[in-house]
Every structure is written in structure tokens, then in C-alpha cells.
């Protein structure tokens, strides 16, 4: 096991700057998820950690030692990809033990490693099968088995669940998390799926356009997103982002919407008439006949346990998730309120969270 430091790590392909200076400390035994939209540089960064891409600038340290010039096979890192890259003509057993066998490790030792991996991954009954005779989830477990027998210092995963159907993804999510508990291994896990990030990570690194937007525990990021990007990226349905201006009322600071709706806020901000973006999580709306928010309904989705309401407040799109089963038709107006402490505020120009909010 090892810790990992990235110190102002940059990547350039010719004239293109792909990563603009990544700083990150990963502790020994930590499960860190890199999440961000497609093309933001997640795989590039992971491949640099693995030694499969050169580092244009900055330093990567694994277990305290500079790794920039260390070839991949000497890094004691194991990487699992989206395409499992199993040998189709080999049995599960031979796929898992391929590494130890080409390294000519003792057969007894290899057998023990295989047993351990197979029992952790529930593959005991499938050892003589070939990949073509397995389900997607089982193939994914074989790929993980091949990683485990290496006893790596660092596990790297690049979107390993993207090829699985929704149900299997949820199951594998739990299994990878359980694996992390058993091994107390250091894991860097890449995904574009914010639910995977929220449910699996000790800490999430949100990336966008080759930069880190914010680093923190899932709930830190969910409860206090540092900027509009993180606010909109994490959470499903997404946070509503509503334009308004900061004003003073007899009851304190508030936001005025374009239709003159006044929404009280808890923040201690100067009511200077500045443009702000109000952020409200869907689950924080309350049905309230006297509430200040007038939501014009576009679509209602009953999920059984909740009602998902899609609509708009003035020009801004709003999604509300209500516990109640309500009957409301498209075009009707729903009155809602939100507790002032639950309102997020962002500077409309910079997109940054406003201090005091």
C-alpha cells in the first residue's frame, strides 16, 4: 500500500494543454474518485499515475518517491479498464494467475493468491470457464482478480462499470467498496458518473477542463459546493439554479427574482443589489400554499415514493422532489417554500460560492 502526491502535474500534447497543474494528496488506504465530464482529463491523469503517459511538468510521488521516470512495470500499480482485456482463450483461473506465472512466482504461492482472490470475488465456481461463458459482472470480477493477485501499492480503475447494465452497476459498486474495506488498499477510481462518485468515494475530486474544481468528502461537496460547476454536477435531479438580485428587507437579506418574488436567505451578505445565482436542492422544496416560490409545472413524474416535478420559476428551470403524492397538471402553478439555511448562493459573474452563504 502507498500514498500518492501530485504536485503541479501538467500534460501537454503538442500545442494542446490538457492538464493545467493538478495538486492532490491521496493518503495510504484512501478511496479517491476522480469525476468530471467526458474529455476533462481523468484518463490522462490516471495513465500518468500508471506511467503509461509522460509527465510534461510537475511531480508524481508514489510512497514518497518521485515516480516521473519510473517505468510502469516497476511502479507496482494495477489498473482495471472499462474493457476488461481478458484473454478469451484462457480459463478464469489462467487469466487471474497470468501475472504471477509470467513472473515465475512459486506455484504454491500463486495457488494461494488465486484462492484468496476467488473467494473475495465469489469466482470459486467459475475458475475453469472461459470469459465468453461469463456474464459482464463476472468478467469484471476476473479483471479485478487479476489486479488483486499483484498485491499492488495502488489500484487504478478507469470507468470499470460503464459496460454493465444498471442493476449490475449498483451491485459491483457495493462489491468494489467492500473490496476496499477488506484490503484497505489505496484506490484511484475514475468515472463520469456522479452517483458512483458519491456512493463509493472517501473523497471526491471534481475535474473540469483539465483543472480540479473541488476536493472533499461526498457530503462536503454536496452540502457546500465551491462553485456553480460543482453545484450543478453533483446531485440527481440537479440543483435548481435561479437568477436573482441581493436585496434587504425588514426581515434581513433576501433574494429578489425577476418576477419580484422575495426569497429570504440566512446569509450575512450586504444587500447591494448584486446579481446572484440561487441554488436549491430538489429535496429542499416544501409544498406551502403561502410559499414565495411560484413553480409553473411542465412535467410530473410519480416514482411511487416521491413526486418529481419539473417546471420553471420565471426563466429558470426548477426540479422539485416532494414526498407527497400530488395531483397537478402541466401549466398549473405550485406554491413552494425553502428554509433560508438550505439556500446556496453564488456570484453570478464568477460562479463562486458567496462567503457567508
CB of 37 or CB of 248, closer to Mg ion: 37
Nearer to Mg ion, 47 or 353 (CB): 47
Q: What is the 3-state secondary structure (H, E, C) of 127-194?
A: CCCCHHHCCHHHHHHHHHHHHHCCCCCEEEEECCCCCCCHHHHHHHHHHHHHHHHHHCCEEEEEECCH
Judged by CB under 6 A, the number of residues near ligand ADP is 11
* Partner from ligand ADP, Mg ion, none binding residue 87, C-beta < 5-8 Å depending on class: none
CB of 208 to ligand ADP, least distance (A): 10
First to last CA, the chain: 40
Select from Mg ion, ligand ADP, none the partner in contact with residue 13, using the beta carbon and a kind-dependent cut-off of 5 to 8 Å.
Answer: ligand ADP
CB of 203 to ligand ADP, least distance (A): 18
* Least spacing, CB of residue 175 vs ligand ADP, in Å: 23
| Helix axes of 107-120 and 136-148: crossing angle, nearest 10 degrees | 140
Residue 288 phi/psi, 5° resolution?
-160, 105
Contact between 13 and ligand ADP per CB under 6 A: yes
Q: Which of 221, 121, 220 is nearest to 175 (CA)?
A: 121
Instruction: Provide the minimum distance between the beta carbon of 39 and ligand ADP in the complex, in angstroms, as a whole number.
Output: 4
Identify which of residues 58 and 99 has a Cβ nearer to ligand ADP in the complex: 58
The distance of closest approach from Cβ of residue 83 to ligand ADP in the complex, given in angstroms and rounded to an integer, is 14
Say how far apart CA 149 and CA 214 lie, in whole Å: 34
Residue closer to Mg ion (CB basis): 154 or 239: 154
Which one-letter DSSP state was computed for residue 283?
G
| Near Mg ion in 25-84, by CB under 5 A | 43
- 109-138 positions binding Mg ion, by CB under 5 A: none
Q: Write out the three cell numbers for 102.
A: 509470467
The smaller minimum CB distance to ligand ADP, of residues 38 and 305, is found at 38
| Gap between the Cα atoms of 302 and 10, Å rounded | 47
Q: Output the smallest distance, CB 148 to ligand ADP, in A.
A: 24
16 is a contact residue toward ligand ADP (CB under 6 A)? yes
The item of Mg ion, ligand ADP, none sharing an interface with residue 15, based on CB under 5 to 8 Å by kind, is none
Scanning residues 17 to 56, which ones bind ligand ADP (CB under 6 A)?
18, 36, 38-44
Query: Stretches 12-20, 139-147, 259-267, 286-294: which one binds ligand ADP (CB under 6 A)?
Result: 12-20
Q: How far apart are CA 28 and CA 26, in angstroms?
A: 7
- Cβ neighbour number for residue 217 with a 10 Å cutoff: 13
> Within 13 Å of residue 329, how many CA atoms lie on the same side as its CB?
0
| Neighbouring C-beta atoms of residue 29, cutoff 10 Å | 15
In the complex, the smallest distance separating the C-beta of residue 36 from ligand ADP, rounded to whole angstroms, is 6
Distance CA 182, CA 215 (A): 25
Q: Binding residues for ligand ADP, per CB under 6 A?
A: 13, 16, 18, 36, 38-44
Q: Binding residues for Mg ion, per CB under 5 A?
A: 43
Amino acid at each position: 500500500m502507498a500514498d500518492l502526491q501530485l504536485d503541479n502535474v501538467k500534460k501537454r500534447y503538442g500545442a494542446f494543454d490538457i492538464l493545467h497543474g493538478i495538486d492532490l494528496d491521496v493518503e495510504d488506504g484512501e478511496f479517491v474518485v476522480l469525476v468530471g465530464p467526458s474529455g476533462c482529463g481523468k484518463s490522462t491523469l490516471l495513465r500518468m499515475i500508471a506511467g503509461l503517459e509522460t509527465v510534461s511538468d510537475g511531480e508524481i510521488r508514489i510512497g514518497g518517491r518521485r515516480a516521473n521516470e519510473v517505468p510502469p512495470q516497476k511502479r507496482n500499480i494495477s489498473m482495471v479498464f472499462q474493457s476488461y482485456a481478458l484473454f478469451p482463450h484462457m480459463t478464469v483461473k489462467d487469466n487471474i494467475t497470468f501475472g504471477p506465472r509470467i513472473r515465475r512466482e512459486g506455484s504454491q504461492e500463486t495457488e494461494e493468491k488465486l484462492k484468496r482472490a476467488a473467494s473475495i470475488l465469489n469466482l470459486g465456481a467459475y475458475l475453469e470457464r472461459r470469459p465468453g461463458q461469463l456474464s459482464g459482472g463476472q468478467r469484471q470480477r476476473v479483471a479485478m482478480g487479476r489486479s488483486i493477485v499483484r498485491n499492488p501499492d495502488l489500484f487504478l480503475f478507469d470507468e470499470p462499470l460503464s459496460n454493465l447494465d444498471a442493476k449490475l452497476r449498483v451491485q459491483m459498486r457495493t462489491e468494489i467498496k467492500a473490496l476496499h474495506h477488506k484490503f484497505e488498499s489505496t484506490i484511484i477510481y475514475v468515472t463520469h458518473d456522479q452517483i458512483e462518485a458519491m456512493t463509493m468515494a472517501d473523497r471526491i475530486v471534481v475535474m473540469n477542463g483539465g483543472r480540479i474544481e473541488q476536493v472533499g468528502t461526498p457530503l462536503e461537496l454536496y452540502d457546500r459546493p465551491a462553485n456553480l460547476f460543482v453545484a450543478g454536477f453533483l446531485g440527481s435531479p440537479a440543483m435548481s439554479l435561479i437568477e436573482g438580485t441581493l436585496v434587504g428587507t425588514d426581515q434581513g437579506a433576501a433574494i429578489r427574482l425577476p418576477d419580484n418574488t422575495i426569497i429570504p436567505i440566512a446569509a450575512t451578505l450586504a444587500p447591494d443589489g448584486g446579481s446572484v445565482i440561487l441554488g436549491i436542492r430538489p429535496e429542499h422544496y416544501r409544498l406551502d400554499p403561502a410559499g414565495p416560490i411560484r413553480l409553473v409545472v411542465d412535467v410530473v413524474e410519480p416514482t411511487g415514493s416521491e413526486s418529481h416535478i419539473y417546471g420553471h420559476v420565471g426563466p429558470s428551470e426548477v426540479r422539485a422532489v416532494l414526498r407527497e403524492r400530488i395531483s397537478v397538471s402541466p401549466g398549473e402553478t405550485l406554491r413552494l417554500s425553502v428554509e433560508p439555511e438550505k439556500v446556496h448562493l453564488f456570484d453570478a459573474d464568477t460562479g463562486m460560492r458567496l462567503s457567508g452563504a
